[in-house]
Amino acid sequence: RSFEIRKSYRLLLNIIMINNKNNKKTMEVHHIGPEWLSISRVGEILDKGMKLELGDEARRRITECREFLDRKMRDQKEPIYGITTGFGSLCNISIEPTQLAELQKNLVMSHSCSIGERVPRDIVKLMLLTKIQSLSYGNSGVQLATVERLVDFYNHDILPLVYQQGSLGASGDLAPLANLSLPLIGLGEVEFDGEVMPASKMLEMMEWEPITLQSKEGLALLNGTQFMSSYGVYCVLEARKLSRWADKIASLSIDAFDGRIEPFYPQIQEVRPHPGQKATGEAVMAWLEGSEIIKRHKAHVQDPYSFRCIPQVHGAAKDTLTYVGEVLETEINSVTDNPTIFPEDDLIVSAGNFHGEPIALPMDFLAVALSELSNISERRTYKLIAGVRELPSFLVAKPGVNSGFMIPQYAAASIVSQSKGLCWPASCDSIPSSQGQEDHVSMGSNAATKLFRVVDNTRRVLAIELFNAAQALEFRRPLRTSPALEAMVEAYRKRVPFIENDTVMYTLINESVEFIKTEEV
């Protein structure tokens, strides 16, 4: 009976969604088409829970490409890689026309070898979105019905179970994209309505038939960089926010440490005009506008590098982030499966757009940049607890009986060290596969998942700095920092109190992490 209720509920939801297509005021829709998909737009689609819809131009291109491929297969005698032949080193084996559908289904099944930790929900959503985008250009030869089913998965929040390990990042993200594609043909598992279930059960609940893959379709679904690029896009979106938080938290630390404002003067940035450095100087000056502490006389002539060189270090991270964002934005607006079909030129070309090197190198680079944001953050935390500049040792009024903020710095140092280890570039490695046919691979998938961990680590280290800086600020009272920073501290204090005596700290650190995750900056 429960199953029947759920089935009726899904049917009702389908009716609502159909009605919503005729009433755009009830939901925001992003139309998939030839228009450039920016990373900022991707963030907006996710944040607003927007639905997807194939535009007319995308539908036309997909349909015309499929019709061209069908004609080509009827007329051409020569083998076409992956369409009338096997894959990889089996490219010299011709496939009979009656076996083409079986070939594509077997490809998806045999390649579904992703293992390890589950890919997070938001990144699976991004994989669906970016795969739909790539197929929408009409160079992949897929059926319109296949792309429409992927859109249905996205819109109904049907998320295939995909795992983090298994891709070499070269012949596309074969293993994870195979797991993403299994539910199209009624295999694999999905998370649906908060429950993990077999894809076959989901199809029955939705009253959908499995897709019967036609020639080339399995290859189009599995070739591509959507696993790597989705991780990369997610990390860029998070890194943009963390970069802003780094400037804001560092500004609070400057006042808490009684630091100097002169290193942030525009004259300094103008004579070394890196865009990120200039932006950082401007941001810190803005955050400290109106601070009583920053204006008072300073007994010290200069600050340690972790304070004085914030524009240079944070700025370099910003410039890296800009570059990596541009590369990944190009990637998600590209056709990355193989072979590539050009109906207007009467061409089917087997090439290498699936190779992840163009994004593997930048993702390794971004991991280094974010690691440096956490590295310099931990150094500021260390200075805040050092018992200098009129601050008590470990930021408690009665050190000795209280350890105070001694160990949060240990935790930050441990996390920073882990990130440094994760910064060994995955893209330096290559292990040949497919009997040597695929003899150079990017390992971009490993670059992507490592970057994801560095993003999380950087957030935690910044949260620990905020934990310390807010505590240190109280020892400057009755002086006040800027109105903007006081407002942040007031909001922060609703979740993390001032520490007078030793207490359980990990819960407060976790609250600090959640504050950075959920608050706007």
**455 contacts 418 by C-beta, under 8 angstroms:** no
**192 contacts 158 by C-beta, under 8 angstroms:** yes
The neighbour count for residue 182, using CB atoms within 10 Å, is: 22
Catalytic residue among 9, 81, 231, 492: 81
Beta bridge partners of 176: none
| SS3 call for 211 | coil
Q: Within its chain, how far is the Cα of 414 from the centroid?
A: 24
Q: Is 137 a catalytic residue?
A: no
Look at residues 407, 441, 411, 437 and name the one whose alpha carbon lies nearest to residue 426: 441
Amino acid at 357: E
Cα dihedral 205/206/208/213 (nearest 10)? -90
Q: What is the 3-state secondary structure (H, E, C) of 407-454?
A: HHHHHHHHHHHHHHHHCCCHHHCCCCEHHHCECCCCCHHHHHHHHHHH
Helical packing angle, 174-181 and 100-111, nearest 10° = 110
**485 contacts 501 by C-beta, under 8 angstroms:** no
Active site amino acids: 81
